[in-house]
Amino acid sequence: MSETLELHLVVNGETVRRRVRVRQSLADFLREDLGLTGTRVGCEHGVCGACTLRIDGAIARSCLVFAAQVDGAHVETIEGLSDSGEIADLQAAFRARNALQCGYCTAGVLVTAAELLRAERAPSRAEIRELLSGNYCRCTGYHAIVDAVEQVCRLRVAQG
Amino acid sequence: MFEQRPREEALKAPKFAYFRAQTLGDVFDVLVRHGDEAKLLAGGQSLVPALNMRLLEPRIIVDINHISGLAGIVEHGSGLRIGALTRLSEIGASPLVARLAPLFAQAVPFIAHLAIRNRGTIGGSLAQADPAAELPACALAVDAVLHLASARGLRAVAARDFFTGLYATALAPDEVITAIDVPAAPPETRSVFLELARRHGDYAIVGLAARARFTGRQAHDLRMVFFGADSKPVEARAAAVALRHSARVERIGSAQDALAHDLHPSADLQADRATKLHLARVLLARAVRALSEAA
């Protein structure tokens, strides 16, 4: 039982060892200790979705997880998803369709929307909106985001 | 490799000591020694916001996520046993839950958002006993039984005895929920889950978990549990009597009037008392119609 802890995890495929304060959120750990500032911190109580990332393959709010909890886990941030090319088509569609303006929410939106790209059928616009209902965007009005996600999902399904 | 940056000193959560429990025995030891000053961390989707907003300042956080045997869904007797640490998204995706506890399967999509459901647990939701939460109402509507453990031993508590008030339960300071038993829905059971919220995934203003058994087109044993409409989930018994425990559309009006006896909503940030009662009437009518049309 202590106030710091030796952390050993994998972030975007790289092994990381750090001593962390146990009350530091995963979002703050990534941003401040690892310099991975793509993960945004908005409301810091799980409402806005800006800090969404993957823990062991499942999306989660990194403001609602302490860094101490991901000891031994695989964490993927927007930097990892960008570098791997996994969502390159989605990112291109966001750009082409003006699905971002200030960009603050975009990383969280992309990580969340990527869940739909793994499905075998194209989701309806209602399904896209439902999945993204936990990601707030104050710029776009959401239509362009839904357009971009819908287009990429359809293309992916068409391409098998 | 990652560049080391200077650390900001400001942290959201208050100071606490973190303890990663490996067994239930570890948990009991901490709870016996520290009681209320220790808080259990399961999914953390209610606890961590409370810590970040400094509504709670526990001395010790006990992380129970590494205890084996606390998560999972299995058939048990004629029903289901759901481990307390089972994530909400797993409950929502489980074919076993869809078949044997359909009300839970219907409720899960209303709980927050996928990223929250991937972390949040059923045990955490029941222990938190938020008056607007979905699963406590489901547990009550299906007569679920909660298994509690402490250094003193094990006990089973029916959902109807578990929820005692606003964020209050029968869980003693030294106890932990280990599992929830959900009786299988009897054959020809139909259930309806309804919720009114300002946006999808927001806290419910008012919600309703309802179920009935059917013999042919005749519904009986109607159970209606409202949430967000009182300090805890409440079974609408007077309204069910007014409906003759059936899905009788022609009796909706008198059942709606009877809700004033069943529910005692207090105003919250979302709606005042009269609005909540009105919305409960709306949901009752929708549920009875849905059940009668399902027949």
Which overall architecture, per CATH, does domain B189-294 show? 2-Layer Sandwich (3.30)
Q: Which CATH number fits domain A4-81: 3.10.20.30, 3.60.21.10, 1.10.10.10, 2.60.200.20?
A: 3.10.20.30
CATH of domain B17-63: 3.30.43.10
Query: What residue ranges do the domains of chain A occupy?
Result: 4-81, 85-158
Picking from A120, A121, A148, the residue whose alpha carbon sits closest to that of residue A132 is A148
Alpha helix segments (H runs only) across chain B: 24-34, 47-52, 88-93, 95-100, 102-107, 114-117, 122-128, 134-141, 159-162, 237-242, 252-262, 273-294
Q: Which two tokens stand for residue B59?
A: 């001395």
Do A4-81 and A85-158 fold alike per CATH? no
Cβ of A46 and B45 within 8 Å? yes
Domain at B73-182, CATH class: alpha beta
Q: What does the pLDDT look like over B133-144, one tens digit per residue?
A: 999 999 999 999
Taking residues B14-37, report their average pLDDT. 96
| Stretch(es) of chain B classified as CATH 3.30.390.50 | 189-294
Q: Give the closest of A2, A36, A134 to B116, CB-based.
A: A134
- Chain B's closest residue to A49, CA to CA, is B115
Confidence of residue B6 (pLDDT cuts 50, 70, 90): low
Q: What does the pLDDT look like over B57-98, one tens digit per residue?
A: 999 999 999 999 999 999 999 899 999 999 999 999 999 999
Chain A residues 77-106 within an 8 A CB cutoff of chain B? none
- Tell which of B27, B116, B130, B203 to mutate to test the A interface (max A CBs under 10 Å): B116
Distances in Å between the Cα of B38 and the Cα atoms of A1, B243, B285 are: 12, 46, 44
CB B122 within 8 A of CB B178: no
Taking residues B9-28, report their average pLDDT. 92
| SS3 call for A35 | coil
Cβ of B201 and A44 within 8 Å? no
Q: What does the pLDDT look like over B154-169, one tens digit per residue?
A: 999 999 999 999 999 9
Q: Tell me the pTM.
A: 0.95
Picking from B4, B8, B33, B6, the residue whose alpha carbon sits closest to that of residue B19 is B33
ipTM score of complex: 0.96
- Tell which of A23, A79, A125, A127 to mutate to test the B interface (max B CBs under 10 Å): A23
Picking from A88, A128, A98, the residue whose alpha carbon sits closest to that of residue A112 is A128
Considering only residues B4 and A1, tell me which one the structure prediction assigns the higher pLDDT. A1
Paired sense of beta strands A74-76 and A4-11, if any: parallel
CB B167 within 8 A of CB B78: no
For chain B, report the end-to-end CA distance as a whole number of angstroms.
63
Cβ of A64 and B49 within 8 Å? yes
Q: What does the pLDDT look like over B193-227, one tens digit per residue?
A: 999 999 888 999 999 999 999 998 899 999 999 99
Q: Which two tokens stand for residue A91?
A: 């990112």
Residues of A in contact with B13 (CB under 8 A): 23, 25, 66
Cβ of A33 and B4 within 8 Å? yes
CB B228 within 8 A of CB B131: yes
Cβ of A64 and B61 within 8 Å? no
CA distance A48 to A62: 11
* Chain A nearest CA to B45, separation (Å): 6
Residues 6 or more apart whose Cβ sits within 8 Å of residue B230: B131, B263, B264, B265, B266
pLDDT of residue B1: 55
Q: Give the closest of A5, A46, A63 to B18, CB-based.
A: A5
* Chain B nearest CA to A96, separation (Å): 27
Which overall architecture, per CATH, does domain A85-158 show? Orthogonal Bundle (1.10)
The packing angle between helices B273-294 and B252-262, to 10°, is 140
| Stretch(es) of chain B classified as CATH 3.30.465.10 | 73-182
- Tell which of B45, B48, B56, B65 to mutate to test the A interface (max A CBs under 10 Å): B48
pLDDT of residue B4: 58
Mean pLDDT, all residues of chain B:
95
Q: Which two tokens stand for residue A122?
A: 């194209």
Residues of B in contact with A28 (CB under 8 A): 8, 11-12
Cβ of A1 and B60 within 8 Å? yes
Q: Give the closest of A21, A45, A64 to B119, CB-based.
A: A64
Residues of B in contact with A60 (CB under 8 A): 115, 118-119
